[in-house]
Amino acid sequence: MIFYVYILFSPSLNKYYVGHTNNLDRRINEHNSGFSKSTKAGIPWKLVCSFEFTSKAEAVRFENKIKKMKSRKFIERLISDC
């Protein structure tokens, strides 16, 4: 099974959101339908970058690495490499 780490951008909030999933299309639809409380205010979210992993553990590690950086510049560097 493939797992994804994804980066979304909300133009209305001018913010990024980082998450992981095994079904990218479903998860983005959930974010944009208001299903997720943490992203409801930022609708519409646009997918700006995604990374594929062969295990959930790898995906979670990479997601946590991005979140620990707490840096918009770090995220924007990742996006520029997509």
Domain positions in the chain are: 3-81
State yes or no: pLDDT of 63 exceeds 90.
Answer: yes
The pLDDT tens digits for 14-61 are 999 999 999 999 999 999 999 888 999 999 999 999 999 999 999 999
Which pLDDT belongs to residue 35? 87
4 and 24 in contact (C-beta within 8 Å)? yes
What does pTM read for this prediction? Answer: 0.94
3-81 is classed CATH 3.30.70.370: no
Compute the 3-state secondary structure of the chain and give helix, strand, coil in percent, each to the nearest 5: 45, 30, 30
Tokens in use for 2?
A: 């493939």
Which pLDDT belongs to residue 36? 85
Which pLDDT belongs to residue 5? 98
